[in-house]
Amino acid sequence: MHNTENGMEALRLSEVAVLVDGELVGAEDPEITGVAGLEDAGPGDLTFVGRKKLNKVLAASGATAVIVGPDQEVDRPAIRVKDPYGAFAAFLERLLPDPDRLFPPGIHPTAVIDPTAEVDKVVAIGPYSVVGAGCVIGAGSRLGAHVILGCDILVGRDCLLHSGATVREGCLLGDRVIVHSGAVLGSDGFGYLTTKDGIHKIPQVGVVEIHDDVEIGAGCCVDRATTGRTIVGTGSKIDNLVQIGHNVRLGEHCSLSAQTGIAGSCTLGDGVFCGGQVGIADHIGIGAGVKIGGQSGIINDVPAGKSVFGYPALDLKESFRMFASLRRLPELFRRVRLLEQNPGRSAEVTGKDQE
């Protein structure tokens, strides 16, 4: 074995098969020096195919070897597994950089740690980071450069806060939480009172509570509650540039794609999935397991288990039928005009009629 130019340790395909608990297909056992997608793969690369309809793409791929499913045909050395995508993802973990290189253990001399903060001995705090009064940071947690923790914040064990992340006063992070660069947890909720004298700010005195195993993407904002807590449930994954308003309660294992916006005081059940650019109005209830298509607008409660799409969002099948009908509108309008001009004619106006 040796390290390749991209830092990956070169392995025989049989060794990869053991790592991903798969079956080696074919007599050849080539050396694997890299990984890539089907279209980008070249000599030495390992790729994967999860669907039979990609057979033509595989045939044109330059990959040396491929991870395939139980019934997938292959034209080169392969590893057969039950879940090709899962096996490929597991192998990609070998390419992750050493966390001690990204976040050197210990406290950088430029970091500012308030003397009242309780910081475990086994942590990494990067250059120019700030840890405020009364903060508690658990063992194994890592803060990149320029991370800001306000006062009285709890950060659990094995958390990872990338450079430039900000957590404001009083917020709570569970264990193994990942916060990417530029995210802000605990920013003020959008609460104002309109009077004859103008718009006055309503104090936002609640906090944000992030449960275990949550990942929050770059540039996200999770607003603190007006009173009480804004909650992100265990295992939920939030893409870049997502806005979560004050007093929102997000269930467990939810997935919110980029540019989704959730207004204040909404409740989302466990396992809710939102496509990109979904907008949810305030005080809406979304049941468990709901799937919301991209760019949909939610203005009413959605029962558990539903799939919805459109603006305003409707049942998925109904919405698709409506969109398909839109293409027929010009012809329908043409027929209506013909009937208005010729009231005595039959309603069965064909497409061959001239206006």
Q: What radius of gyration do the chain's Cα atoms show?
A: 27
CA contacts within 13 A on the Cβ side of 235: 9
Model pLDDT, residue 354: 46
pLDDT of residue 1: 41
> Binning pLDDT at 50, 70 and 90, where does residue 6 land?
low
Looking at 108-112, 213-217, 321-325, 350-354, which range is the least confident one? 350-354
Integer CA distances (angstroms), 124 to 89, 159, 216, 288, in order: 27, 10, 20, 37
CB of 72 closer than 8 Å to CB of 90: no
**Residue 188: inside a domain, yes or no?**
yes
Residue 216 belongs to some domain of the structure:
yes
Q: What is the pLDDT confidence band of residue 345, given thresholds at 50, 70 and 90?
A: low
Distances (CA, A) of 314 to 250, 260, 298: 22, 18, 9
Between 106 and 53, the more confident residue is 106
Residue 288 DSSP class: T
pTM reported for the whole predicted model: 0.85
As for how many domains the chain has, the answer is 2
Segment 57-76 shows an average pLDDT of 92
Q: pLDDT class for 321, splitting at 50, 70, 90?
A: confident
Could you report the per-residue pLDDT of 141-180, keeping only the tens digit for each? 999 999 999 999 999 999 999 999 999 999 999 999 999 9
Residue 83 shares a structural domain with residue 123: no
Q: Are residues 91 and 132 in the same domain?
A: no
Task: Tell me the pLDDT band of 328, cut-offs 50, 70 and 90.
Answer: confident
Which residues constitute the domain of residue 118? 102-317
The 10s digit of each residue's pLDDT in 213-271 is 999 999 999 999 999 999 999 999 999 999 999 999 999 999 999 999 999 999 999 99
**237, 201 contact by CB (below 8 A):** no
Catalytic residue flag (residue 246): yes
Average per-residue pLDDT for the chain: 92
What backbone torsions phi and psi does residue 189 show, to the nearest 5 degrees? -65, 155
Q: Which one of the listed residues 162, 180, 211, 246 is annotated catalytic?
A: 246
Asked if residue 194 is part of any domain, the answer here is yes
Instruction: Kindly report each contact of residues 314-323 with a partner whose C-beta sits within 8 Å and lies 24 or more positions away, as own/partner.
Output: 316/291, 319/293
Please tell me which residue, 275 or 73, carries the higher pLDDT value: 275
- One domain for residues 77 and 173: no
Whether the pLDDT of residue 88 is over 50: the answer is yes
- At 216 the pLDDT is 98
Residues 153, 91 share a domain? no
Q: How confident is the model at residue 5 (pLDDT cuts 50, 70, 90)?
A: low
Specify whether 56 is located in the same domain as 193: no
Rounded to whole angstroms, the Cα distance separating 143 from 124 reads 6
pLDDT score for 348: 55
Same domain, 55 and 111: no
Residue 338 covered by a domain:
no
Shared domain check, 214 and 84: no
C-alpha–C-alpha distance, residues 222 and 153, integer Å = 15
Answer yes or no: do 46 and 169 share one domain.
Answer: no
Residue 233 to residue 119: CA distance in whole angstroms:
25
Q: Does residue 343 lie within any of the structural domains?
A: no
- Could you tell me if 115 and 90 lie in one domain? no
Task: Please tell me the predicted confidence (pLDDT) of residue 355.
Answer: 44
Question: Are 234 and 111 in the same domain?
Answer: yes
* Within-domain flag for 293: yes
Output the six-digit token pair for 192: 């104002």
Q: Read off the pLDDT band of 353 (50, 70, 90).
A: very low
The amino acid at 190: F
Whether residue 32 has pLDDT greater than 60: yes
